[in-house]
Every structure is written in structure tokens, then in C-alpha cells.
């Protein structure tokens, strides 16, 4: 069995990794992003514990990771399928799973949080973990749109708290935005940059500004595509084709929204509306709200703007 339930005792005690490179990583949230982050961390030799709320979800996460790894090795080990299979098994052995975050952070150097895009839920998680995680453990959020400082304030380790924003699909997307909040120490920031590089990613530095770099530009574009369609000015199919063939995007805006997840997209737009209520771009979108209320959350549920079944 490639995946095993986490045992609290670890071979390496927390004190031996103090000030050393990040080796043990706890990823909280085994959805689209957490699974991808766990996968690339394990594939680059880190020991990873992946945490979610139920064994059923974690089973789905591990199945997804295995499927994604197989896609990766199909290319990387095209001429050596046996070596590819060996690599998959080696990576899977680096990942254990747990439903109890507080009990597994003891030996961790870094906690990467990738749970729902909801400030209160993220604060509650970090506040709990702050009381049990070792002193040296760095906390980082993969939030798409929330200020890192607002999440960090739930802990007493502002200096060891930063942002690490990955892109979907994590195994394919090279970029990581590393965010230095006002309280983030230079040491923590450097550790997150080094960790991103160790994953084979290309980090860019970013201040704690809403949407960081990519989403500051991407969110207005995506939501404006929905508005354009809601106004009856273009079908979603034509808008998608237009942006792929006319602007060179790999996916059209509706395909990308489905790929990101409509629940996550709604969380982001609603959050920005609260932040900037005078900006009509972020006012509630009837179409987005309808799809989410119907449980049509995009590719992950089999239907969003498009059907995938």
C-alpha cells in the first residue's frame, strides 16, 4: 500500500531540522491544489503529510495524485516504463495522510494550507495549529485572494508566516508567488523562495496586495467574461474560442473558471465585493451564483459552465 496512515512518531525530531532546509511538509486540504502541492513536494524528495477532513476525501486525493503522476511519467520516462513505475511508487511512499492536522504537525518544517477560500475557516485552522506546532515551523497559505496578514493574525508567529501561491494544475504550472506580509521575516521569506525552487518551480516575490500579481489581473478578466455573457453579448463557447485563438490563452475564461472551481471563484469574487463594494465588476454574478447553488462547481463535480461527464 503506497499510502499509509500517519504515525505521530517521526524518525526526525523537530529540533534536528531547525534552520535547515525544509524537509517535512504538512499540506492541509487534499482538493485540487493541496493534492498537487503534496505531489510536487513528494516528487522532489520531501516527506509529506496530506490532511483533509475525511478518509474518503483523502482516498480520492491519493487516487488523483497517482493518476497525475502517471501522466507525468508517461512523458518523463517515455522509453523506460519500469523506471517510471518505480518513480511513481517512490513518490507515493513519501506521502502519508491524516484527518487530524493538530496531531501531525509535531515534526513538520512547513505547513502549507490549501483549504476553502474563507478567512474565518483559515484563521480557525491556523489558530489551532499555532498552539501545537513546533517553534521553528513555518506557516504558509495558498490563498488566491485573501490578505496573508489577515490570516496570520490568528497566530503568534507573524514572523514565520507567509504566502505561497501555486497555480492549477500544480504539477504543470511553473509559477509560485511568494508573499511577504508586513510581519514575515526575511528568513521565512527566503525559506519559502528556496522551498519553491526545490520543488522545481519559478518563484516571484510579491507584497501582500489583494490578488498578488496574477489574480489582480486574472480575476477582473475572468469575471468580465461572465458579465459579457450575462449581458447577452457573446456565447460562452464563442468567448472561449475568441480568447484562445485571438489572445493565445491555453484555455478560454469559462473553461478556466470550470477548471479552477466555481465555488472557489465565487468565494474570491464575493470577498473582493466586500472589499470594494463600489466596484461593479465584483458585484454578485447571477449566473455564477446559480451554478454554485446547484452544486455545479466545474470540472471537479462533472459540471459547471460546461458538462464533463
Ligand X SMILES: CCCCCCC[C@H](O)CC(=O)SCCNC(=O)CCNC(=O)[C@H](O)C(C)(C)COP(=O)([O-])OP(=O)([O-])OC[C@H]1O[C@@H](n2cnc3c(N)ncnc32)[C@H](O)[C@@H]1OP(=O)([O-])[O-]
Report, as residue numbers or ranges, the catalytic residues: 144, 165, 177, 215
Among 11-19, 52-60, 182-190, 274-282, the segment contacting ligand NAD (CB under 6 A): 52-60
Out of 34, 147, 211, 252, the residue judged to bind ligand NAD by CB under 6 A: 34
Residues 6+ apart with CB under 8 A from 26: 48, 49, 51, 101, 104, 105, 108, 110, 111, 112
Asked if residue 218 lies in contact with residue 225, where contact means CB atoms within 8 angstroms, the answer is: no
Displacement of CA 176 from its chain's centroid (Å): 10
Cα 239–Cα 118–Cα 166 angle in degrees, nearest 5: 60
223 binds ligand X (CB under 6 A): yes
Kindly state whether residue 163 participates in binding ligand NAD, applying the rule CB under 6 A: no
Which window, 26-34, 65-73, 205-213, 223-231, contacts ligand NAD (CB under 6 A)? 26-34
Sheet of 110-113: strand order equals 4-5, 95-98, 47-51, 24-28, 110-113, 138-141, 161-166, 175-180, 202-207
8 Å CB contact between 24 and 107:
yes
Nearest partner of 211 among 85, 116, 304, 117, judged by Cα: 117
- Interface with ligand NAD (CB under 6 A), residue from 43, 49, 88, 117: 117
Contact status: 168 vs ligand NAD (CB under 6 A): yes
Residue list for the binding site for NAD(+): 29-34, 52, 117, 122, 144, 168, 300
Residue of the chain from 42, 222, 243, 292 that contacts ligand X (CB under 6 A): 222
- Restricting to residues 77-136, which ones interact with ligand X according to CB under 6 A? none
CB contact burial 131-153 (16+ within 10 A = b; e otherwise)? eebeebbbbbbbbbbbbbbebbb
Is 265 an interacting residue with respect to ligand X (CB under 6 A)?
Answer: yes
Contacts of 188 (CB under 8 A, 6+ apart): 138, 159, 160, 161, 162
- Contacted entry of ligand X, ligand NAD, none for residue 133, CB cut-off 5 to 8 Å set by kind: none
Residue (25 or 219) nearer to ligand X, CB:
219
Q: How far apart are CA 301 and CA 273, in angstroms?
A: 26
- The interface partner of residue 184, options being ligand NAD, ligand X, none and the CB cut-off 5 to 8 Å by kind, is none
The minimum distance between CB 285 and ligand NAD, in angstroms, equals 17
Residues that bind ligand NAD (CB under 6 A): 28-34, 51-53, 57, 114-117, 121, 125, 142-144, 166, 168, 260-261, 264
Residues that bind ligand X (CB under 6 A): 68, 71-72, 75, 144, 167-169, 171-173, 215, 218-219, 222-223, 250-251, 256, 260, 265, 268-269
Amino acid at each position: 500500500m503506497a499510502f499509509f496512515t500517519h504515525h505521530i512518531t517521526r524518525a526526525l525530531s523537530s529540533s534536528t531540522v531547525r534552520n535547515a532546509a525544509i524537509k517535512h511538509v504538512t499540506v492541509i486540504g487534499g482538493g485540487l491544489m493541496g493534492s498537487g502541492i503534496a505531489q510536487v513536494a513528494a516528487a522532489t524528495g520531501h516527506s509529506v503529510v496530506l490532511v483533509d477532513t475525511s478518509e474518503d476525501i483523502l482516498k480520492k486525493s491519493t487516487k488523483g495524485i497517482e493518476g497525475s503522476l502517471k501522466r507525468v511519467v508517461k512523458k518523463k520516462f517515455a522509453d523506460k516504463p519500469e523506471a517510471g513505475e518505480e518513480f511513481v511508487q517512490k513518490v507515493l511512499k513519501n506521502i502519508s495522510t491524516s484527518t487530524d492536522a493538530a496531531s501531525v504537525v509535531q515534526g513538520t518544517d512547513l505547513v502549507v494550507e490549501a483549504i476553502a477560500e474563507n478567512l474565518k475557516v483559515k484563521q480557525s485552522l491556523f489558530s489551532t495549529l499555532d498552539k501545537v506546532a513546533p517553534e521553528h515551523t513555518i506557516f504558509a497559505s495558498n490563498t488566491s485572494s485573501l490578505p496573508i496578514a489577515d490570516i496570520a493574525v490568528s497566530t503568534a508567529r507573524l514572523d514565520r508566516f507567509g504566502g505561497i501561491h501555486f497555480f492549477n494544475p500544480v504539477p504543470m504550472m511553473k509559477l509560485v508567488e511568494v508573499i511577504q506580509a508586513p510581519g514575515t521575516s526575511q528568513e521565512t521569506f527566503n525559506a519559502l523562495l528556496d522551498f519553491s525552487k526545490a520543488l522545481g518551480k519559478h518563484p516571484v516575490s510579491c507584497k501582500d496586495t489583494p490578488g498578488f500579481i496574477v489574480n489582480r489581473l486574472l480575476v477582473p478578466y475572468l469575471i468580465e467574461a461572465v458579465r459579457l455573457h450575462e449581458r447577452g453579448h457573446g456565447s460562452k463557447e464563442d468567448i472561449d474560442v475568441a480568447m484562445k485563438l485571438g489572445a493565445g490563452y491555453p484555455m478560454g475564461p469559462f473553461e478556466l473558471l470550470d477548471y479552477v472551481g466555481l465555488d472557489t471563484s465565487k468565494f474570491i469574487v464575493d470577498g473582493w465585493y466586500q472589499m470594494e463594494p463600489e466596484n461593479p465588476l465584483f458585484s454578485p454574478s447571477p449566473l455564477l451564483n446559480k451554478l454554485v447553488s446547484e452544486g455545479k462547481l466545474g470540472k471537479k463535480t462533472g459540471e459547471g459552465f460546461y458538462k464533463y461527464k
